[in-house]
């Protein structure tokens, strides 16, 4: 919880920002929340392709840890798809 002095200081910083760069302050004020698929920068399809590539690599290398990485990428892809599907409802 912020005390009164901290709130006043933050309000002063906000006023200075609005005075110095109004267009930047407006962009911050009007920012819309992004969907979960956009949070990671790469969508569910990108993570699914990464999982498929990593799984092929794991087969070629016969490596257990690389297989785990492929499974984690696949799970991330499924989670992003589910979150994006729920946000559309």
Instruction: Read off the pLDDT of residues 60-77 as tens digits, 9 standing for 90 and up.
Output: 888 888 888 888 888 888
Q: Give the largest Cα separation in the chain, rounded.
A: 62
**Displacement of CA 48 from its chain's centroid (Å):** 16
Instruction: Read off the pLDDT of residues 14-32 as tens digits, 9 standing for 90 and up.
Output: 888 889 988 887 877 776 6
pLDDT at 76: 81
Model's pTM, two decimal places? 0.44
Instruction: Read off the pLDDT of residues 30-66 as tens digits, 9 standing for 90 and up.
Output: 766 665 545 555 677 777 788 888 888 888 888 888 8
Q: Which residue has the tokens 């297989």?
A: 67
Q: Yes or no: say if 40 and 83 are a contact pair by the CB < 8 Å rule.
A: no
Instruction: Provide the residue ranges of all domains of the chain, joining segments of one domain with +.
Output: 1-31, 33-89
């Amino acid at each position: 919880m912020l005390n009164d002095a901290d709130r006043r200081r933050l309000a002063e910083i906000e006023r200075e920002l609005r005075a110095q760069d109004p267009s930047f302050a407006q962009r911050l004020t009007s920012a819309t929340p992004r969907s979960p698929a956009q949070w990671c920068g790469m969508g569910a399809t990108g993570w699914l392709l990464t999982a498929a590539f990593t799984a092929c690599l794991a087969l070629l290398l016969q490596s257990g840890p690389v297989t785990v990485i492929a499974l984690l990428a696949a799970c991330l892809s499924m989670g992003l798809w589910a979150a994006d599907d729920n946000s559309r409802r």
